[in-house]
A and B are shown apart, each in its own frame.
Chain A
Amino acid sequence: MKVASEFVHNLKELPREEWLAPGSALCAGCGGLATLRLMHKALGGDVVIVNAAGCLTLLATYPFTAVRSSWLYTTMGSAPAGAQGIRDALDILIARGRLPAHEDLKVLVVAGDGATLDIGLSSMSGAIHRGLDFYYLCYDNEAYGNTGFQTSSATPYGSRTATSPPTPRHQAGTVQPKKDLFALWLAQRPPYAATVSLADPLDLTDKVCRAGQLHGPRLFHALATCPPGWGYDPEESHRLAKLALDTGIWPLKEAVNGQVRHTYIPDRLHSVEEYLRGQRRFEHLFVPNRQEEVLAAIQANVNHYWQEVKQRELHRAD
């Protein structure tokens, strides 16, 4: 089941303007970059990006920038506080008549999963708590990608990373479950939070447009495909992103003023193995031996999630 689009109905309706210039230092097939491109199209041009240390920091290296809008790199742990400073300053300057209102900017934090869920958690939580009027894009490639793919608290159970190698003692590789960013935001009652995917640009654009009608902290949590970290050919990015949706591993949902709904509920879930098999970070689950318990646990977790969703949302629709 797919929720009908409200703002855009086919790809031709996506804004034509490009806000990211070609020729950055980022990897081919980077899901974070593809997501930012789509999100920026939906936001339009009057944007200042406040960046936390991560892969996308490489978008602006002196004397070049691939971003046609404004940009401030802060630190790894305090991009939301940078957004606070810029938002407050713009409000002050406009209120005091030192900046015309048409010079105002939308403030967008762009941070990876480690900057979001580990080192920057208190800074992000503080910004939500203060009701800061900003957009937050977390491009989640499920590890510290820029440093060579080490475990973050967004790394899913069963993933190999450079700091969670599968061993006889820890056969799954990463043994902890992934931290739930969407739930963390919801606990602070923001006006808007959503998960998005580069594999569904209409859904993503629709959500950005819907969030644009609201005021306050607004989350966009994107699964960011990562060819070198996940271990696959860059041309597979779109297919993997799509498989993450069809296997139910990456649910598409949003919460408007706390009211959660899934914008895509797969009628039939593909087996998680279809998604896992194509990535070297999960290779140890299949060779030399199938790790049945780990695979079953991952599948059961996904099944359980969707059972609950279907009970809650499909029954509500009846």
Chain B
Amino acid sequence: MRVPLVLDQESPKDTRTGRRMLTGNAAAAWAARLADVDYVPAFPITPQTEIIEQLASWTARGLMPSKFVILDSEHSMLTAAGAAAATGCRVFTATSSQGLLYGLEVLYTVAGWRVPLVLINVSRGVSAPITLEPDHNDVLAARDSGWLQFHAETCQEVLDLVLLAYRLAEDPSVQLPVLVNMDGFYLSFTREPVELPSPEQVRRFLPPFTPRHAQFRASRPVAQGVGALGGPIYSFFRHQLHLAQRQALPAFSQATRDFADLFGRSYDVIEPYRLDDAEIVLVMLGSFATRARAAIQALRAEGKRVGLLRLRMVRPWPGAALAQALAGRRAVAVLDQNLSPGRGGILFAEVAASLLERPDRPAIVRSFIGGLGGKDIGPAEFRHVVRVLEEARPGDNPDEPELLYTEADFCQVQGLVRQAHPDSPPLEG
């Protein structure tokens, strides 16, 4: 018996918008579909691969009118993405970790082209040692590339931030590519309730792309990406890029107001939690903030005045909003899920710089490193951070980051080493 192959239909369950249980990867794919992107150049890498598999399936079945192409590397993928955007298409792509670093040269290049496109990065620790689970050393390597950089805490936010990212990228006052980050495993493979807007709603927020920048066409030759010989020309263009990034702050406010009007969810560059009367504030990025909320609830029940400030945006740096929110607090802990060896936490340095000249700045600002390579940050660790801040006195900052690493973590490593080498001496740590 021959079974007819139906390529252009979707089960009703698939097309249903409204409230759905979706992983972060599925939410990202839906965002690209709802944004009606023209072009998806792709390359597989864990934990991002599901996004491009889903888009490949939808485009192959004719459910998305986009063109999907597998490139030979992330370096090529990002070049094709930038070139298509420079020609006037709305472009979506995704990568992770090693892939982001492999394409790093092109991140700088396409930001310099001033083309709008959106890239999802699904965070994953960087080799060596090679690993799969998340931290932010990958995405923060793209910090200085000129891309706007957003960080999602939930699957809903993955979807919403991609839609917002296109608004910002295509805003004539910005004209820059945007990177939206979600944490691998914790978001990419975790199912959460997500409100899927209808295509009509999305179209109202994000009208079809009308490129304002130069594009390639026969009747109007242009040269893009040309060389700049001499410091004055180069400096001029690099500073233009900086100014465009700063324009993204007011543009984000406008876009999120429109977004809230249409979808009922409002976003700011920073997200406070139990901050009103907080004396101690934790500063974090991404999905691990959900762990911090739970810990803060428990600490609040004990009467401790602890709050959370999550950064939704890393570039442009929301320094003013951050400093305003932290002013007058007793102590701040920056929990970096990254490690700049020889220095410490990358965000710590940025947060501290934003507070430096404020007379009402917190007297204590401490650096903690946690969650490297997907290591959990548990309630005991949050409790430890708060205890350190409670006991800290101004001026006794050792200028050393503290690694959040429990006895149990160490015993786990030691146990494995003992299995592999029963006669080995105990690890020192």
Please list the residues of chain A having a beta carbon within 8 angstroms of any beta carbon in chain B. Answer: 45-46, 48, 50, 57-58, 60-62, 65, 67-75, 77-86, 88-93, 96, 98-99, 102-105, 122-123, 125-126, 129-130
Check A92/B225 contact, CB under 8 A, given A81-B76, A81-B83.
no
Check A91/B67 contact, CB under 8 A, given A48-B216, A75-B105, A104-B218.
yes
Some 16 contacts from A to B, beta carbons below 8 A apart, are A61-B228, A67-B223, A71-B221, A74-B109, A77-B75, A78-B75, A82-B80, A84-B80, A85-B81, A86-B83, A89-B38, A90-B87, A92-B84, A93-B88, A105-B217, A122-B76
Select which of B69, B219, B225, B229 is within 8 A of A72 by beta carbon: B225
Residues of A contacting B79 in the complex (Cβ-Cβ under 8 angstroms): 74-75, 78-79, 81-82, 85, 123
Residues of A contacting B233 in the complex (Cβ-Cβ under 8 angstroms): 62
Do B83 and A89 touch (CB < 8 A)? yes
Smallest CB separation, A171 vs chain B (Å): 38
Residue from B83, B106, B224, B237 whose CB has the most chain A CB atoms within 10 Å: B83
Q: Tell me the number of A-to-B contacts counted with CB atoms below 8 Å.
A: 156
Chain B residue at minimal CB-CB distance from A107: B216
Asked if B52 lies at the interface with its beta carbon under 8 angstroms from chain A, I say: no
Smallest CB separation, B79 vs chain A (Å): 4
Asked if B125 lies at the interface with its beta carbon under 8 angstroms from chain A, I say: no
Do A74 and B38 touch (CB < 8 A)? no
Select which of A73, A104, A126 is within 8 A of B72 by beta carbon: A126
Residues of B contacting A69 in the complex (Cβ-Cβ under 8 angstroms): 221
Residues of A contacting B88 in the complex (Cβ-Cβ under 8 angstroms): 89, 93, 98-99
Check A123/B73 contact, CB under 8 A, given A68-B221, A92-B39.
yes
The complex places the Cα of A252 from the Cα of B39 at a distance, in Å, of: 39
Do A60 and B226 touch (CB < 8 A)? yes
Residues of B contacting A58 in the complex (Cβ-Cβ under 8 angstroms): 227
Check A74/B225 contact, CB under 8 A, given A82-B80, A91-B67, A123-B75.
yes
Do B80 and A81 touch (CB < 8 A)? yes
Smallest CB separation, B62 vs chain A (Å): 13
Chain B residue at minimal CB-CB distance from A19: B221
Chain B residue at minimal CB-CB distance from A65: B223
Do B109 and A75 touch (CB < 8 A)? yes
Do B87 and A93 touch (CB < 8 A)? yes
Which residues of B, 191-218, contact A by the 8 Å Cβ criterion?
216-218
The complex places the Cα of A129 from the Cα of B72 at a distance, in Å, of: 10
Select which of B84, B105, B219 is within 8 A of A85 by beta carbon: B84
Grouping DSSP codes into helix (H, G, I), strand (E, B) and loop, the B interface class, with mixed when no group exceeds half, is mixed
Residues of A contacting B55 in the complex (Cβ-Cβ under 8 angstroms): none
Do A75 and B106 touch (CB < 8 A)? yes
Check A84/B38 contact, CB under 8 A, given A58-B227, A96-B65, A99-B88.
no
Smallest CB separation, A111 vs chain B (Å): 13
Smallest CB separation, A280 vs chain B (Å): 28
Chain A residue at minimal CB-CB distance from B89: A89
Chain A residue at minimal CB-CB distance from B105: A75
Select which of B80, B109, B217 is within 8 A of A99 by beta carbon: B217
Do A60 and B227 touch (CB < 8 A)? yes
Asked if B71 lies at the interface with its beta carbon under 8 angstroms from chain A, I say: yes
The complex places the Cα of A103 from the Cα of B73 at a distance, in Å, of: 30
Query: Which 5 pairs of residues, A with B, have the shortest CB-CB distance?
Result: A85-B83, A126-B72, A81-B76, A89-B87, A85-B80
The complex places the Cα of A70 from the Cα of B83 at a distance, in Å, of: 13
Check A65/B226 contact, CB under 8 A, given A50-B83, A84-B80, A99-B217.
yes
The complex places the Cα of A92 from the Cα of B209 at a distance, in Å, of: 13
Do A105 and B216 touch (CB < 8 A)? yes
The complex places the Cα of A82 from the Cα of B106 at a distance, in Å, of: 11
Chain B residue at minimal CB-CB distance from A99: B217
Select which of B85, B109, B216 is within 8 A of A70 by beta carbon: B216
Residues of A contacting B109 in the complex (Cβ-Cβ under 8 angstroms): 74-75
Do A70 and B76 touch (CB < 8 A)? no
The complex places the Cα of A79 from the Cα of B86 at a distance, in Å, of: 14
Check A73/B217 contact, CB under 8 A, given A85-B80, A123-B75, A123-B76.
no
Residue from B71, B73, B87, B225 whose CB has the most chain A CB atoms within 10 Å: B87
The complex places the Cα of A67 from the Cα of B216 at a distance, in Å, of: 14
Residues of B contacting A88 in the complex (Cβ-Cβ under 8 angstroms): 39, 41, 67, 69, 80, 84, 89
Do A103 and B218 touch (CB < 8 A)? yes
Residues of B contacting A78 in the complex (Cβ-Cβ under 8 angstroms): 75-76, 79, 106
Residues of A contacting B218 in the complex (Cβ-Cβ under 8 angstroms): 45-46, 102-105
The complex places the Cα of A202 from the Cα of B85 at a distance, in Å, of: 37
The complex places the Cα of A68 from the Cα of B220 at a distance, in Å, of: 10
Do A61 and B217 touch (CB < 8 A)? no
The complex places the Cα of A68 from the Cα of B39 at a distance, in Å, of: 28
The complex places the Cα of A69 from the Cα of B228 at a distance, in Å, of: 19
Do B221 and A70 touch (CB < 8 A)? yes
Do B76 and A86 touch (CB < 8 A)? no
